[in-house]
Structure 1
Amino acid sequence: MSVVTTRSRREDYSESTRSALVASAVELFTDRGYAGTSLDEIARRARVTKGALYHHFSGKQAVFEAAFDAVETGVKGRLEKIMSGPEKPWERAQKGLREFISSCLDPAYQRIAIHEAPVVMGWQRWRDAEDRYSFGLIRSALQDLIDAGEVVRVPVEITSRLLFGALSSAATEIASSPEPEKVGAEVEQVIISLLEQVRR
């Protein structure tokens, strides 16, 4: 029994150490970017040794990818909660779009997921990751709209891909604009107007 308890405590400590490192990395990468952040700073802010950092991560890029995953997972979780909500599919789709735009206004999402990730991870790996986080949600939302008779029967796969591309471009426009809230409002208006064209 004591062996199990000891192992469990060790695992808990290890997980809390990793979580502290990831939280530290998210803060520093958001404030200073990838190039302006050192592993020493990440470890120091997390209040752990650099050796503890290397126990969890092979290097700076691995830490960045964990920070990217944390940011994207947070956004995905909020969107999944909306998309499984009690409202009708059309209302859920609008709420999901607004939540996505709100995420694009978040400094951590802007800096890590939109600006830094394509450079640090490489464009193709970044696109593949974005696909895993976002595409399934878009496809599911569109299928729900079709099944509920809210929109006409469009080809789900290609339409989802086009929406995915539009929203990815919108995220970049919002994050790069000196007036991100204004651009976000325009994005919401345009996407909803486009969806209205295929609404029953």
Structure 2
Amino acid sequence: MSRARTEMIEDTRSRLIASARQAFATHGYANTSMDDFTAHVGLTRGALYHHFGDKKGLLAAVVAQLDSEMDAQLQHISDQAPSPWAGFCERCRAYLRMAQEGEIRRIVLQDAPAVLGDTGSEQHCVESLRLLLETLMQTGVIQQVPSRALAQLINGGLVNTALWIARDEHPGTKLDEGLLALDLILRGLKQ
């Protein structure tokens, strides 16, 4: 395939994802018309079907993009922290704060679970947490326990709390409550 063709394909995919992302965040998945967001970027439904299969496939691509951005943001927080423990704690807090962000709230935490079910991205998050926890165990910051089990437990708590925050009409109040509870749990982890 020529470089120009590859670039054209990537440009089409990027335009569809950007348009769908904006539409899904603004109107929600169910209320978004494929014709509206394809026309918005000068493309047809055929382009959507060719590149993503259907509207659900496009939602999966939007969620993958958002997940990737969230991972990068969380990794940056860990990398900039003064210690692995501070990075881990702030990473957990940041994940809960993300539940208030419009795109994440609507697309990742509300529409994606309802439309896509388990996207598999959760296992990536669990593995990332597991690696952080193993570092904390190896350096004596937290007690040695099976790291995968602890990562599953923490990730499950964070995801469920983020869903709880995202579904509320006043997510700021729920976020404050979730952060207080998280701090109690984090204090209990540290040796």
- How high is the TM-score relative to the length of structure 1? 0.87
User: In 1, Cα distance between the equivalents of 2:159 and 2:183?
Assistant: 16
SS in 2 for 1:197: helix
Q: CA deviation at 1:111?
A: 1.0
State the Cα deviation string for residues 109-163 of structure 1 (Å, max 9, x = none).
Answer: 11111111122113xx34x33223x212221221222122211222212111111
State the Cα deviation string for residues 17-49 of structure 1 (Å, max 9, x = none).
Answer: 111100111111111112111211121122223
1:168 aligned to 131, 137, 159, which one? 159
Report what 1:72 is aligned to. Answer: 67
User: In 2, Cα distance between the equivalents of 1:143 and 1:49?
Assistant: 48
Report what 1:34 is aligned to. Answer: 29
> 1:129 is aligned with what amino acid?
S
Structure 1 gaps, min length 5: none
Q: CA deviation at 1:76?
A: 1.0
Alignment CA distance shift 1:55-1:198 (3 Å): closer
Q: Decide whether the 8 Å contact of 2:48 with 2:55 is kept in 1.
A: no
Q: Decide whether the 8 Å contact of 2:126 with 2:148 is kept in 1.
A: no
Give the superposed CA RMSD: 1.7
Structure 2 gaps, min length 5: none
1:135 aligned to 126, 137, 140, which one? 126
State the Cα deviation string for residues 54-99 of structure 1 (Å, max 9, x = none).
Answer: 2212111111111111111110111122223452111101221232
- How high is the TM-score relative to the length of structure 2? 0.91
> 1:83 is aligned with what amino acid?
S
> 1:109 is aligned with what amino acid?
I
SS in 2 for 1:84: helix
Report what 1:180 is aligned to. Answer: 171
Indicate yes or no: 2:91 matched with 1:96: yes
SS in 1 for 2:131: helix
Count of aligned pairs: 191
Q: Report percent identity of matched pairs.
A: 28
SS in 1 for 2:189: coil
SS in 1 for 2:157: helix
Alignment of 1:147-158 (within 5 A): 147-158=138-149
User: In 2, Cα distance between the equivalents of 1:67 and 1:90?
Assistant: 32
User: In 2, Cα distance between the equivalents of 1:51 and 1:130?
Assistant: 31
